[in-house]
Each structure stands twice: as structure tokens, then as C-alpha cells.
Structure 1
Amino acid sequence: MKKIIQFSVFLFSSLMTLFISCSSSDGPTGEKPEVPEVPSVTPGEMYSWEESRTAILNSTDMVLIYGGGHHRDPLTWDVDRISSYVTYKDKNNMEHWLFDSFLFLELKDTGVGGANKTFTYENTENLDAANQKDWKKLVDYYFAGSTGLGALNRAISNAQSRLGSPATKRRVVIAIPEPIAHKTPANENSTSVYWGTLDGHIMDFSISKDRVDACKWYIDYVRSKFNEMQYQNLELAGFYWLAETAGTTRDIISSVGEYVKQFKYSFNWIPYRGAEGHNYWETLGFSHAYYQPNHFFNTNQSYASLEETCETAKREDLDMELEFDYRVLASNTEHDIYYPRMKDYMKAFKDHQIWNTKRLAYYEGGGNLLSLKNSSNQADQDLFHEFCQFVITRPIRSK
């Protein structure tokens, strides 16, 4: 009888061990997470520029640089392309420094050669969530020698030979992908252990700590790559939270923010109009939050609503985003609808003291400022100069 009991205990223990092992490593669907080759990063290691930094670096005019997804055309930001975001020549052929800060970000990787993954919950294509391998590839894209930050560094060097050094080095902000709880965001029954491993631990994104630790790994990998590249004209100034609402990640935002800010980096956010958390962004742990009016995209929104959004930003101490895309081009069939909506931003931001008091982020649809610049249409040329003058004449800009 004793032997039967001992065998029963042994059998029960073995089955429980097998069950726990399967649950922790395979997830609800029985899939094993991909285990890519990833760099070993020392958590919290301080680099020289971090040790000497006494405060978060300031900037006034941050342009969004979308890149990394294979659906982008062109795929890369080379020196020629990104140079038009570094300086601007006015109608008298006088050259000026343009944006002082560059936010590198991506939402998904689709198209020929792409992984068909999303970096954010906010996708409408039922894509799978990006894993550790995809996060690493995105960082490697940003830090490739001939494109991204490398191209930006050289473009600034080229401009310095003509203009001398700017008052401050150009700032760089890097987006953090969302650690999505399930492999297929739209299916909560899909596995939560798809992402990868850290220090031999299979990450389970149903656990908040694992999601935070994945973000810390990503932040440390960005920092290590920046240290490796030794750019002469750039400073790593901060990180950006890709989610545009607090709804999907409110349980981890503050922990990620604490980690970012311990190295004197800014923690940036660009919530859409009315997004959950926009009115308590500081409590969430962000350094700066840029409010999206969404006026350009919502043709049912009146100019009065844009003015109201400006007043909301002032009341809640939010910075703001100016928005436009390819539809402002004279060649676009919807030009007559969208051209005046872009102009509305410049008017409202000046009328409501946003232009002269607030940090601004600029969404231009992934290359459409360059499209305006290169257009042979006079209306496009006029809009290009009006916009660039709007940027370079701001009283608070860091030069």
C-alpha cells in the first residue's frame, strides 16, 4: 500500500511539473516562443554622457521620422533625404537650421521582405505582435551606418561646414514598441509567451513585470548601440511611448518611465485628442506629452474644435503636434479639402499662443515635407516656405 501511495505521489508530481512547464513556455496555443540571438546588455550600465548629464535635454521642434517597415517607399532615410529635415533654404537662398529633434519610430513591418508584425496595439490588419527579434531588427535599422541616425549625423556634419555648429547638438528620441500581451492582439486566447527570453527566462507578457523588463532590455540595447556608434553631432535625448492612449499599457507606463528618467532621458508621449490619460499624463510618468488635435484628418471637426483643443493643451500643460500628409499637395485630388486644414494649425497655434510658448511635434506623413520641397507647383512651394518659416521663427526655439 505504501509503494502505491508513493508511486501516486510521484506520478502526480511529475504531471504537475509537466503541466507547469507547458503552461510557462508554450502558452495557451502550445506554441514555443522564438529564441533569437540577441545581445547581452548590462541593465543600468551608465555611459559617460549619462554620468555627466545634469538634467533632461530640452528641444522645441521634434519631427517624426517613420522608418523600419518594409511597406515604406523609400525604405531608408539616407543622407540626401534626411538633409531636408536638418536645414532649410529660404526664398533668398539663405540656409537655416530646421528641426532640433528627431523622433525615430515605426508602427508595423509589412510589405515585401517584411515580418508582417505590428509594434503597437493600434493596427487594423490583424497582424501578429512583434517579438524580441523584431524589436532588435528595428533598433539595428535605426543605427545602420548609411541610413537613419548615421545619415542624420553626416547630414548635420555637412551642414556645419556651411553654417557652423548649431547652438546645441541635434537631439534624438527613439520609440519603444508596445509590449503587447498576446501574440495576436485581436485574440486574447493567443499565446502570451511569444516574445522571447531574457537571461534564460521565457517572457510571459500576461505578467506586467515581464513586459516592463522587455522594455528595459530594449532601452538598454538602444543605449548600447548609441554608445557603440559614437556620433559626433547627435545626443540621445529620450524615448517615446508608442501607444497613443493609456488604455492598453497603463499598468506599466510609470515603471518604464522611472527607468528612462533615471538616466536623465525624457519620456515622451503623443496622445490623440481625447485619449485616455491625456489629462493625467504627468501622473503616468511622462516628461513631455504632445497633444494631437487630429484636425487635419477629421474633416467633420470645425476650426472652433481646433481652438478648443489648443485651450485644453494650455489648461492641462500639454505640448502639441502639428499634422499633415500627402493630401496637402496640389496634385492630390483632395488638396482643396486638406490644404486649408493644415493652414488652420499654423493660424490657431499662433492665435492661441501655442506657437510661441509650447514644444511642438510635427507629423508630416513620412516624407511629405520633402515632397512639398521638391514639387514644381508654386502652391506647394509657397506652403513649404510658409511651414518652414513657421518653424524657424518660433521665439522659443533652441536654434
Structure 2
Amino acid sequence: MSKGRNWITRKCMAWGAALVLLTQPGLSWAEETDVTDDAVITAPIIKDANRFADLDQSYAKEAVERLASYKLVSGVTEELYEPDQQIKRQDFLLLLAKVIGMLPSGERQAPFADLSADSPYADYVNALIEAGIVKGRADGLLQGAEPLTRQEMAVLLARLIPVNGMIPASESTVQYADEAEIADFAREAVKVVTAKRWMNGSNGRFHPLEKVTRAEATVVADRILQERLKQAETLNFSVNAGKITLHPGESRRLEVKAIGTEQLPFTPIFTLDRPEIGEISPDGTFTAGASAGTGQITVSVGYKSIRLPVEVVAGGPSDSAMPDNTADKLINYAPDSFFSVKTTGTPDTYFHQLEQTYPGPVGGLVQPSDTWTGYLRQFGREITLTLPQETPVQKVRLSFQQDKKLGITLPAYMEVDLSKDGKAWLYAGKATHSVPASEETKLVRTLEVDVPSTDVRYVRVRFPVKVFVFARQLQVWGSEEQQDEVRYVMLPPAPQSVSWEDEKANDRIKNMVLAYSGGYGDLGTWKKEDFLPLVGYISPDGIIRDQMFDAVHFIPYPNLETTAEGWTNYLNDLFRPGRQLDALNEAMMEYNKRRGTLYIAPVKEKVILTLPYPNPKQTDFGKVREDQDSLSFSASDVGEERAFGYRKQALEWYFNQLKMRWDKAEFKYLQLDGIYWYNELIDDAVPRERELIIETANMVHQQGLRYYWIPYYGAPGLSEWKQLGFDYAFVQPNYYGNNPIPIDRIEATLEVANKYGMGIEIEGDDRMVRDLKYFQTYYNQLIAAHKLGIDKEKIHAYYYGSKSLLAAVNNPDPDSRAIYDDTYLWIKGRFAQQDYLLPQEVQTQAEEKPKEQQSTSQPASQTN
């Protein structure tokens, strides 16, 4: 479990006939002799196009980088892309098939006299032939190893439009000076691709007979890919039902139609969350089973989905159950399959050790056992099965349990990938469920993805993990005979690299310290002398040598009452004369005075203020207007709509009061930089929680302020912080705490921060000054972060409980004082220690013992 904010106060809260499949395959455009059955590229995502030394000045650099992220292209060598090299027909056809999302045909025959059936190109070329895109030459030859001309490429591209449900562009008005050189068979196609802006000439000429280079092919393929992805994201479709209600044994077929185009650009995929009440077939036919009950069918086309409630009611004209898997001649191949499990996030040793408490049955998740396997945090799991042999797979199932009293929740979805060789993966769909986030009942759901029979050897299942997910009985059903014809696939979105850059201003914070206030007496009461060592680094001789933290984040203790009175009291405390904000302003005046900047360009400290969290369990918040009754935030008390409205109203009321009082205070040496969202996770069990967060972001941004968040490591919603409207988010490593956490947690935190463009929080409390164990933990955190470059390459937040760092500032013990000095060096990127501390290396003041006892003392890690 993660530690959250409550130790003193801080604890873990924790196509029409085509199949929609996502793929990441790609054959290298190397010489023909280099292409084999294993020629699927495995090059990693290109994070830096300079990986290819010959692309620095190439116009194709961006397109190469994007297609390489899909594993659609690779270099001729490890270092060279050879952008000016001519591309062969067969290589372009391979690239084209994959860009439009086409699954290899299963015809197992030679499409042309000069292309054998066992060629790795054959199945793709067959699929293109069946789709009407490739027609070959009059002599029956493909001549795949020959270069491709620009006019030949234009013809292939023009044939894509009707096949893929694309909308033709308006007729082009472009006139090429060399139009007479364009062959009759290609003249119309050139007009079409010019209008689509897929191809264009240079210097007013089309150059129809010139050979296509790898750079040209990549740029054109990238343009088509972007249009296909846009199709997947923006297409509209309808289903001929809003709800299905059937008696046992009855069937109904769902018909999916495109809106705005004649045909669907991708195949509909149907998934079901309760196979026990019926069966959904790949063609959209739902057959009710013998058991009454309710569930949900999800219909997906491209990246759009429609969810339909389904109900099987007892009695009726037929009491016969649907045919079972045996009657359908389906076989569960999972129990005899080899499987492996990996985290979708960085593996965490500590969480892995904890989840071993629930190891599952002997033989693992694929066994037909009622024993649950537990998975703890680490973002999600990816389970890969190697089937005994290549088999036509039709459905994949996995059961999940929910028991919220034990912290076990259903994953929001389950995704399935398929592969022939374990390298080129196809996305086979996503199953969701109908269980609302507010449901507290203990229950089980079996998520199922049904696909047109697809001949594969490898199956991969993926699901997110918030805190604990319990799963059992992973099943892969198939038959020994191919059931369906499958032709096309759909590519996934490209991996998004996130750059840490504030587009609004150049004066972003760099180091933000948390200041808890509003309770706990002196610990929560900040004076000028408390803030001075935090805003300015005070050397041992008492001189302010430099700025320390450039921002202070005021935050209430977790015991703040969720009432109008409680929030008002905290607000009053925040603006107390001589304390809190006023004290910080005085400290900054003193800082500027000592640094000689009081009258010439005085430094202002940035301030981040907190919006208290409108607890959804509160039924009596109080009035925010005299003509209104006390607000209730509870959906079970006043309904979801009113609860959402009241929570939003309370936040607006508080924010307006806060902003009004800030403006009135006119702090000369402070700058209000942003507002903090208090809850450390996105709680989807709370109705419309995400909507509330986004509405709050809009409110904050309207005032020109930034929106901050500090989720704990592995918190639900962490990866979505930008979509939720936050401008900055810091991830808590949760390394510093009561339980010993392996040092690799820091490395894992850096990977998360880099992946999602986040800052990082450094953690400590009063125990680091008086307890050797925590002294060591704090320092090892700084050392590990320094070794990884976190001190120089990230912005940071710092949690110290309350005034813990002040205990080091004024401490006569050199080792304790060093905590403050070394923290300053770390902040400035000048921290140099590389070796981790062992428990017996340092003795803090509180741990001192008589000399005669020191030699026999046990290490702190054994005595605590």
C-alpha cells in the first residue's frame, strides 16, 4: 500500500467484413535476401530520430519516427535509414497493407508466378488482391523486387479510398507541367491522390516515371496512417438497439451501420461482461442463456464504443439454453499453454512481495480453479500465453472479483492482443463491464472478447490495476477449423512522448515545499522565523547565501472538517496576521533585505493554495447562501446530479472567498501561482468525480492560475493527469516510510515521471533527524535520485510532515544539521554523494550512546 498524506497525518488512502485488430508488426525494408519468415522488426520505439545518422536533414525524419513507433519501418542497418534508396514494390505493398490495417490473408497460395506462397509478402499481397487494391500486371507477374514508380504508387493509393470507407477529396485544380508523361491508367489516380494531398509534385511537375524512395514512401504512408487514425477516432456509427431484452434461448442480431459513409471503415467488435447469461458471436448475434440476469454488450468500431444493456428474463417462449462450448466444438487451449505475467508499469519489488500473499492455484491463472490470483498496483498486468500450436481463436475470457471491503476492485476493462509469432501483435478488442463505480457489493464478473476466428499462436491479455485486482480462470477458446474470413486490422495510437514544458510562462516553480497548517498547535502555525530557512539557505554562520525553496504550498491537515464552518476556519487561519501567509510575506521581506534585493528587483516567493476536498460522504456541509439549505455531497442522499452540483458549488464558493481575500491582502513579496487539488487519487467510485476535477480546472484557469496535483505512486488516474486539466503533477515515490522499500522504487518513480511528464516529490519527516533508520532512508532517497539525475532534470515537491526540516537547521549535531545543508545542495544540483548509507555509518543525536555501548550496539534496522 502507498503511504499517502497521513503519517502524522499521512496514510495510504492506494471493415464491414473486416476485423478490428490493432497491430504492431513491421518488416524491415532490407534487401530481398534478408526477408524471411522471421523478418518482423523488433526495433524499439524511436524516441530520437537522430538514431539514424542519415536523417538529420531529411524531410522524412518526422514520418520515420512516427512509423517506427508503430514498428512499421526500420533502418537498412542499425545506424542508417537510407532515405534516398529506392523502395521495391513488395516492400511498399507490405508497408501499405500494415498502414491501412490489413491482416494477412490465409489463402496459403502464390498470388503471382514470381511470388511463392511461403514468401512473407504473399499473405499480405493476397489480402490486397482480395480487397481490390492490387491487380498485378498483364503478364501475371508482380515483379516485387523491382522499384516502384510514382504513378504506380498513385494508382495503389487511389484504390484505397473506397475500400477503406474514406471520403474522396474535392477534385484537384492542380495542373502538372508533365501531365502528358502520366500513363492513361494512372492519370485519374494522380488527380485523386493530389486532391487528397497524399502525393504532390515538385517545381510544378509530378515526375510520374521517377522511382519512389524510402523517404517518399514513408511520408506518404504516414499521411495515410494519420487519416486512418482520424477515421478511428471520429467515425460515427449506430446500432439497431438501445437495449436487448430476451427470454432464454432467444437470439437477436445487432446491426452496425456507418453514419455519413456507405460502409464502416473498420469491423465491429462485440464484447460481453457476463457470459453466464448468454453468448455474443462475432457477427453481433446475442443468444440468451438459461440463467436470468443483466449484463452489458460493448460494440466497438475503431476507437468509438457504444455500450448496450442486456437482460435475460425468466420464462417466455423458450426455456432452452444456448448451446455450450462443447456443442460449438470449441476447445479451451489455456490450461495447456505456457504463460508469463509482467507489469504494464515499472516492476516494484515491494508490491511484488506483497502480492505473493495471493499466488493463485498450482499451475497458475490458466487453470480451471476457483482460487484467486492477486495483483497489487504497478499500473496493470500483461499476461502472454503461448498456445500449444497455431489455432483459430474465437474468444478470450477472464474472471475478476470485487470486494471493496478488502480493497479489491474490478478493472475498468480488459484488452486482448493476438499474434502469430509473438512479435507482430494484433489488438483484438476491449471488454468493459456494467458495474457502477459506486457499487459496494461483493461480486464476480467474467469479461469476454469475441473475435472472428483468427489463426494465432500467441494471446495477450491486459488490464489495469488500481490497488488490488483478483483474477482467475483465464480461458482461450478456439476450434480446430478456421471459421471466418479475416482481412483487415486497425493500428493503435502512437505512443505519446511527453515533454515537460509549461507553455504559459517561463517562471514555473522549481522546488516547492509543503507547509501544513490549520491544526496541531505550533506544528501547524508558521511564523516568520519558521519560513526564513526555507525560502533562503542559511549557512552555519547564519548568513543567507542563496534561495532555497522557490515555492511554498499551503495545505490543510487531513483532519480538516468538510463543512462550511471548517473550511472558513481554515481560510481564516491562512490569513492570520503575522502567521501563515503573512509570516511568509514577512520572511520574504527579510530574505530580500539580507540579500540586498529589497529595493532593487525583490524576489517573490510563489504560493500554491489548496482547495479542500468536498468529501462525497458529507450530508450536512452547511449553507453557502442564506437562501439555501445545508448542502449534501452524498449521491445516495440527494442523487448524483444534485450531489455533483453541490460539491461544485462549495468549491466555487471557497475559491471565490480565497481569491477575494488574497487580492485584499496585497502581499508584496508573494505571488499566487496556482491551486492544488487535494485528493491524491481519482476515485471513480464517486459519481462524476472526473467531471468535477475538470470543472475545477476551468475555474482555476479562468483566473490565470495553474492547477496542481500530487498523486501517490500507482494512484488511479495518475497517467491521466493532463487530460483532467492539471498543469503540473508530481508523483510521490512512497519510498520513505515505516516499511522498508527497495531502492529500485526511486528508479521506478523516475520511469513513471518520465513516461507521463511529471515532477517528483522528495519525502521526509521529523524521524529523519532523530532516528538512524529514517536518516538513512532519507539520504538513500537523495542519493538514488541524484544517481538517476532527478535532482537536475525534474521539478520537485518536498514533503516533510510539518516543520521537520527546521529541526535540522538549528540542530547542534553535525550529522543532523547536514540534512539541511545536503538538501540545499541536492536542490541546486550540487549533491555529490554516490554511495548508499549503511545503518551503522551515522549516529544521530537522538541515537547517541556511551562509547562503551556503541561498539556492541545493533544496527538501527535490527533494533527498530
Alignment TM class, shorter chain as reference: 0.7 to 0.9
Match in the other structure for 2:527: 78
Match in the other structure for 2:665: 229
Matches within 5 A, 1:277-292: 277-292=717-732
Match in the other structure for 1:12: none
Q: Find the aligned partners of 1:74 and 1:365 in 2 and give their Cα distance.
A: 9
Match in the other structure for 1:246: 682
Q: Tell me which of 594, 612, 619 is aligned to 1:177.
A: 612
Matches within 5 A, 1:1-399: 55=505, 58-69=508-519, 71-91=520-540, 93=543, 95-108=545-558, 118-119=559-560, 129-165=561-597, 168-183=603-618, 192-198=619-625, 200-202=627-629, 203-206=631-634, 207-247=643-683, 248=686, 249-297=689-737, 299-329=739-769, 332=770, 335-393=771-829
CA contact (8 A) 1:327 1:338 kept: yes
CA contact (8 A) 1:57 1:265 kept: no
CA contact (8 A) 1:130 1:195 kept: no
Q: Which has the larger radius of gyration?
A: 2
1:66 is paired with a residue of what secondary structure? strand
Deviation at residue 68 of structure 1 after TM alignment: 0.5
Matched letter for residue 169 of structure 1: K
Matched letter for residue 234 of structure 1: L
Q: String of CA shifts for 1:315-356, please: whole Å, max 9, x gaps.
A: 111111000011111xx3xx2321121112222222223211
CA contact (8 A) 1:66 1:106 kept: yes
Match in the other structure for 1:186: none
2:509 is paired with a residue of what secondary structure? coil
CA contact (8 A) 1:176 1:215 kept: yes
Structure with greater proportional helix content = 1
CA contact (8 A) 2:746 2:785 kept: no
1:320 is paired with a residue of what secondary structure? strand
Deviation at residue 276 of structure 1 after TM alignment: 0.7
CA contact (8 A) 1:369 1:384 kept: yes
CA contact (8 A) 2:563 2:620 kept: no
Deviation at residue 94 of structure 1 after TM alignment: 5.4
Q: Find the aligned partners of 2:737 and 2:672 in 1 and give their Cα distance.
A: 31
CA contact (8 A) 2:537 2:546 kept: yes
Matched letter for residue 310 of structure 1: L
Structure 2: runs of 5 or more not aligned: 1-503, 635-642, 832-864
Distance 1:199 1:174, change over 3 A: same
Q: String of CA shifts for 1:4-59, please: whole Å, max 9, x gaps.
A: xxxxxxxxxxxxxxxxxxxxxxxxxxxxxxxxxxxxxxxxxxxxxxxxxx759511
CA contact (8 A) 1:245 1:277 kept: yes
Deviation at residue 217 of structure 1 after TM alignment: 1.2
1:201 is paired with a residue of what secondary structure? coil
1:307 is paired with a residue of what secondary structure? helix
Q: String of CA shifts for 1:168-187, please: whole Å, max 9, x gaps.
A: 5211111111101223xxxx
Q: Find the aligned partners of 1:327 and 1:361 in 2 and give their Cα distance.
A: 19
Q: Find the aligned partners of 2:790 and 2:649 in 1 and give their Cα distance.
A: 37
Matched letter for residue 204 of structure 1: S
Distance 1:318 1:267, change over 3 A: same
CA contact (8 A) 2:592 2:602 kept: no
Q: String of CA shifts for 1:229-266, please: whole Å, max 9, x gaps.
A: 11110111111111111115434111111110111111
CA contact (8 A) 2:675 2:706 kept: yes
Deviation at residue 130 of structure 1 after TM alignment: 2.1
Structure 1: runs of 5 or more not aligned: 1-53, 109-117, 120-128, 184-191
Q: Find the aligned partners of 1:354 and 1:152 in 2 and give their Cα distance.
A: 28
Cα root mean square deviation, aligned: 2.1
Matched letter for residue 133 of structure 1: E
Q: Find the aligned partners of 2:632 and 2:622 in 1 and give their Cα distance.
A: 8
Normalised TM-score (structure 2): 0.35
CA contact (8 A) 1:172 1:234 kept: yes
1:389 is paired with a residue of what secondary structure? helix
Q: Find the aligned partners of 2:609 and 2:565 in 1 and give their Cα distance.
A: 17
Distance 1:80 1:91, change over 3 A: closer
Q: Find the aligned partners of 1:255 and 1:96 in 2 and give their Cα distance.
A: 39
Q: Find the aligned partners of 1:394 and 1:198 in 2 and give their Cα distance.
A: 53
Deviation at residue 393 of structure 1 after TM alignment: 4.2
Normalised TM-score (structure 1): 0.73
Distance 1:56 1:349, change over 3 A: same
Match in the other structure for 2:65: none
Number of aligned positions between the proteins: 311
CA contact (8 A) 2:523 2:803 kept: no
